[in-house]
């Protein structure tokens, strides 16, 4: 028995995945803003990140070449996170939040439209 082809299912899955990614990014931007407002928690996190960066720098210098690559990758990730939190810009964050919200709204509308088209197509094919 052959499998029935649903033309909109791939587009729906891709849109759902893009929507989840955009929502995750929006949540991260909002969390960064909340962290910026909580000075004590932010200072504690930056201190912990600075400690981790120092530990990883020593690990990079002291490790064998086989383990060095992973340590360098971890070090760069921690440095990016530290720089993101230390160099927080309120205006850029607000603009990024607006862009993310617009993208989420747009993708939600696209997803609803695709689901409607799939339902309409399904009714015509199997009526």
Cβ atoms of 8 and 111 within 8 Å: the answer is no
Judge contact between 29 and 99, C-beta under 8 A. no
Q: What is the pLDDT of residues 105-120, one digit of tens each?
A: 999 999 999 988 888 8
Longest Cα–Cα distance of the chain, Å, equals 70
Place of tokens 């927080």: 88
Number of domains in the chain: 1
Can you give the residue range of the structural domain that contains 65?
A: 19-117
109, part of any domain: yes
pTM: 0.71
Pairwise CA distance, residues 73 & 56, whole Å: 10
pLDDT, tens digit (0-9, with 9 covering 90-100), for 13-72: 999 999 999 999 999 999 989 988 999 999 999 999 999 999 999 999 998 888 899 999
Is residue 122 assigned to a domain?
no
Of the two residues 24 and 2, the one the predictor is more confident about is: 24
Of 92 and 125, which is predicted with more confidence? 92
| Assigned domain for 6 exists | no
């Amino acid at each position: 028995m052959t499998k029935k082809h649903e033309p909109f299912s791939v587009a729906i899955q891709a849109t759902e995945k893009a929507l989840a990614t955009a929502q995750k990014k929006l949540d991260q931007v909002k969390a960064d803003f909340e962290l910026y407002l909580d000075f004590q928690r932010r200072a504690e996190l930056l201190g912990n990140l600075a400690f981790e960066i120092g530990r990883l720098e020593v690990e990079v210098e002291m490790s064998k070449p086989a383990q060095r690559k992973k340590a360098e990758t971890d070090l760069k990730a921690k440095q990016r996170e530290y720089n993101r939190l230390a160099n927080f810009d309120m205006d850029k964050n607000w603009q990024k939040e607006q862009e993310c919200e617009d993208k989420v709204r747009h993708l939600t509308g696209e997803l609803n439209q695709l689901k409607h088209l799939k339902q309409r197509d399904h009714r015509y094919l199997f009526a």
